Amino acid sequence: MNMEQFRKASLLTAIKTPYTEQGDIDLDCYDALVTQQIAAGVDGIIVGGTTGEGQLLDWEEHLMLIAHSSTKFGDRLLIIGNSGSNNTREAVKATEYGFASGMHGSLQINPYYGKTSDQGVLAHLLKVLDVGPAFIYNVPGRTGQDISPAIIEKLAKHENFIGVKECSGNERIEYYEQRGIACWSGNDNECFEGRHKHASHGVISVTSNIIPGIMRILMDNNEPELNQSVQALMSWLFCEPNPIAINTALMMTKAVLPVFRLPYVPLSQQLREEGMTLLEAVGADNLVGKLPVVLSDDDFLIVV
């Protein structure tokens, strides 16, 4: 896999990890979800990212899912394993295992919670870049620390630097793209303008879990009316911390079993009813799954 192949990918889905009623990873359901992503023309998937609840998977599960995805779908999709960690030793080891299992690239985050200095962020990310091709993920809202342009511009000189998943807005994305640094939007509601007005390489998307075909069109074509038509749905998908709403949506369309791993719990009845209206407006033909149903509180299973 060369850098040009990565950089041609304009739509990458941060794929959902579904569970069985016993709380284990549901591989049959996962395969069905990925197959629908392929049918919609998605270029690749992020395995075990925030949306895929990598934070709730143990490393055995996490690496198994990367290996499974690489073996089953690696000839049809870019497989990007979220092997980042706030522990450099752990991130390096997981990334080495991920590449040994067949993934094409990794997603790397800066140390969170137990934050470090800017010099430490740079040193951490250079260590994981040494292992193999990587997207750098900047999401200050979750990590509490911005990866500044000064850091990214240094990282961009590394031979294994693919680009940035950037959640700080389109002005930052345009800044990078003007300097030849490949950038993908991490904010679905901004990704259309990011692509068509600010020259982003594309999006790493949550919304494409539920409407992959529409997200494909939005990355390929300048259709502002279509973009506007799904803005309310995108807003709803982030009404609670991700991935709560996308999980609930996929359960409402029967695409996955209604099983949550704590600490995530379903959206409230009122929010589910709001989502029902938005999903119906998109149309069943555009949804992953079937026509949505609201579901009752008793329909959900909460596991540890």
Residue for token pair 């023309």: 41
The residue from 16, 19, 97, 165 that is catalytic is: 165
Q: Is 169 left (phi over 0), alpha (psi -120 to 50) or beta?
A: left
Task: Answer yes or no: 165 catalytic.
Answer: yes
Phi and psi torsions of 71, nearest 5°: -70, -45
Q: How far apart (Å, rounded) are the C-alpha atoms in residues 59 and 40? A: 30
What six digits make up the tokens of 231? 């803005």
Closest among 93, 72, 75, 76 to 84, alpha carbons compared = 93
What lies within 8 Å, CB to CB, of 194 at 6+ separation is 170, 173, 185, 187, 200, 203
Task: Answer yes or no: 72 catalytic.
Answer: no
Q: How far apart (Å, rounded) are the C-alpha atoms in residues 294 and 272? A: 6
The residue from 97, 137, 254, 264 that is catalytic is: 137
Residue 48 CB neighbour total at 10 angstroms: 31
Q: What 3-state DSSP class applies to 134?
A: strand
The type of residue at 106 is: S
The catalytic residue positions are: 137, 165
